[in-house]
Structure 1
Amino acid sequence: MSATELAAGARTSYLAARHLVLILLVIVVWAFNFIVVRASVEEMPPILLTGLRFTLVAALLLPFARRPERMGPVIGVAISMGILHFICMFTAMGSGAPVAPLAIIAHLNVPISSALAAVFLGDRMGPWRMGGMALAIFGVAIMSFEPAVLTYASAMLLALAAALFWAMGNVQAKYYGITDVLGLNAYMALFSAPPLLILSLLIEPGSAASITEATWRGWLGVAYMGIMVTVFGYTVWFTLIQRYSVNVVTPWILLTPCVVALMGWWFLNEPLTWRIATGGLIALIGVGVVVIRRPQYADRAT
């Protein structure tokens, strides 16, 4: 992509049709990952599943990635975004908790990133972003009164912790000026996979046996997470982020929890109650305000 194309894209306030199709496909891929993880943790424990995902990602990306100039910051991001985030998120998703509120809570990484950036990077919050954060918290508070959410309160707290760890990695990457997305994903996977696999063997009963006993569905889940979610999803996402303004691309990601809710209803027979729908909509509007008014940060992951 030439500098002229990038500059033209940055001035464009809407997505070209082919790019809109791509971003909608990425949203579907990322949303369906919640269903895939739910099915996969029935065959493999969550930490092992995360370790195998990163093993595959490292094998796919390392041959094409440049070695980071400084390994220390990348290891720090790997601990936050790779190890702690995914342990919390996959454990929450494997608990049987409804996927819609988990997806909405996971997107709180956006306002949390803004708050951490204000504290550690000196970013100015401003009234709009502070209002968006308050709105997001209010929406989650409404959801918290849903009986299904209360039943799985520990899973919701894990999802919130996952959002915090992702935000911490986000701010770390910004602080150290890490801009090579391919290299970051490749080496984050390299540094995350070994400790995750070792930790799984130590604390997850039957993890070694599950590797040999898993059916094709479990391994297909690992392949989906590594190839579709990470390699395909992030490649498309960051390509569009480079071509267009962040404020043009990023708000589309707010459709992901909506698609997750529909998939949870369709595939998992999860009810979509008024508390989850109303609270989720309010929370996403709040996140959207923060997205539009914030500096450029790399978002999400499931």
Structure 2
Amino acid sequence: MLLICAIWGGNFVVTKLAVDHFPPVLFTALRFALVAILTLPWLRWCPGQMRNVIIAALCMGTLHFALIIIGIAKADDVSVVAVVTQLGVPISTLMAVLFLGERVRWKRSLGIALAFSGAVVISFDPKVMNYQVAIGLILMAVIIFSIGQITVRRIHDVNTFTMQAWVGILSAPSLLLISLLLEDGHVEQTLSASVWHWGAIAYAAVLVSLIGHGGAYYLLRRYPVSIVNPGFTLAPIFGVLAGVFFLNEQLSGRVILGSAITLLGVLIVATREGKVADARGVAPEKAALETKGAGD
């Protein structure tokens, strides 16, 4: 659990350093191209499921990552980004209420309220006010990811690595097209990339997508969701610490307070979500897919 959260938390710093060289969407396209290559053995046609698989892959891959990578590139502090991305947990819960008719009792309602209250506290920090556009893009990204999660809940008998393969196959070319339309300097930046820049792509594809999400799947197959899911809230803590240690980021009292409130709310929602999932007997494959956004 600690290894997975450390990998996911470190990804915010690795990504920030990578997009200082690569055009952001191009970096993400290269990441998913590598994911597609590595997961090709698991690629399967899913009869009767492909419509939802394609929608989920485009939401959780192309659209989500195009927005979030541009947001990271525009933000000064990855620590704030790491916390804001966790709003995907309460947002996905609200989506489930709206579109799946799930019921939310007072504890999860309290958690949702705390999560958004913490985000409001963070957003009024004077330094954070300078990159409200970045936070707006990241919020759009987590909303789209939540739509992808809702779609995933309608998919049956598709395992995590098959879904990862479809995300890679569909996202790599679509992200490359977006990059060609919106960005420039592709050839120059690719040819001038150092081994560290290529290492960042490998980190995102191998450690985050395969080992991180594969490890989450491994844990969820062996332990109750109510135990595993709350542990994933450690990922933004590692992200904040990595930003402070490697990028010399300075955290104001308002950001620290807002982050603590948000993460407390996320922890409450994740704990209650896990208990509900255990009671419903949610399949490990589906639970693993629903945790995928933790570290992107």
The yes-or-no answer on 1:277 pairing with 2:256 is: yes
Instruction: State the Cα distance separating 1:66 from its structure 2 match.
Output: 3.2
Give 1:162's aligned residue.
Answer: 141
Q: Which runs of 5+ in 1 are unaligned?
A: 1-22
Matched ranges for 1:216-227 at <5 A = 216-227=195-206
Matched ranges for 1:43-54 at <5 A = 43-54=21-32
The yes-or-no answer on 1:241 pairing with 2:213 is: no
Give 1:265's aligned residue.
Answer: 244
Instruction: State the Cα distance separating 1:208 from its structure 2 match.
Output: 3.2
Matched ranges for 1:157-236 at <5 A = 157-177=136-156, 179-236=158-215
The amino acid across from 1:111 in the alignment is: P
Distance in 2 of aligned mates of 1:102 and 1:174: 26
Q: Is the 8 A contact 2:75 2:81 kept in 1?
A: no
Residues 47-66 of structure 1: CA deviation (Å, up to 9, x unaligned): 11111111000100111343
- Give the TM-score normalised by structure 1: 0.89
Matched ranges for 1:16-95 at <5 A = 23-69=1-47, 70-95=49-74
Give 1:104's aligned residue.
Answer: 83
Instruction: State the Cα distance separating 1:178 from its structure 2 match.
Output: 5.9
Q: Which runs of 5+ in 2 are unaligned?
A: 278-286
Residues 25-78 of structure 1: CA deviation (Å, up to 9, x unaligned): 111111111111111112211111111111000100111343322322111012
CA gap 1:286/1:179 in 2 versus in 1, 3 angstroms: farther
Distance in 2 of aligned mates of 1:163 and 1:97: 19
Show structure 1 runs of 4+ deviating over 6 A: none
Instruction: State the Cα distance separating 1:186 from its structure 2 match.
Output: 0.6
Q: Is the 8 A contact 2:46 2:158 kept in 1?
A: no
Instruction: State the Cα distance separating 1:288 from its structure 2 match.
Output: 1.1
Q: Is the 8 A contact 1:134 1:286 kept in 2?
A: yes
The amino acid across from 1:221 in the alignment is: A
Aligned-residue CA RMSD (Å): 1.3
- Give the TM-score normalised by structure 2: 0.91
The amino acid across from 1:267 in the alignment is: F
CA gap 1:225/1:101 in 2 versus in 1, 3 angstroms: same
Distance in 1 of aligned mates of 2:222 and 2:193: 41
Deviates more, 1:36-45 or 1:65-74: 65-74
Q: Is the 8 A contact 1:43 1:215 kept in 2?
A: no
The amino acid across from 1:36 in the alignment is: V
The percentage of aligned residue pairs carrying the same residue is: 35
Instruction: State the Cα distance separating 1:88 from its structure 2 match.
Output: 1.2
Give 1:10's aligned residue.
Answer: none
The amino acid across from 1:48 in the alignment is: L
Deviates more, 1:62-71 or 1:231-240: 62-71
Q: Is the 8 A contact 2:53 2:155 kept in 1?
A: no
Q: Is the 8 A contact 1:68 1:183 kept in 2?
A: no
Instruction: State the Cα distance separating 1:107 from its structure 2 match.
Output: 0.7
Distance in 2 of aligned mates of 1:280 and 1:41: 24
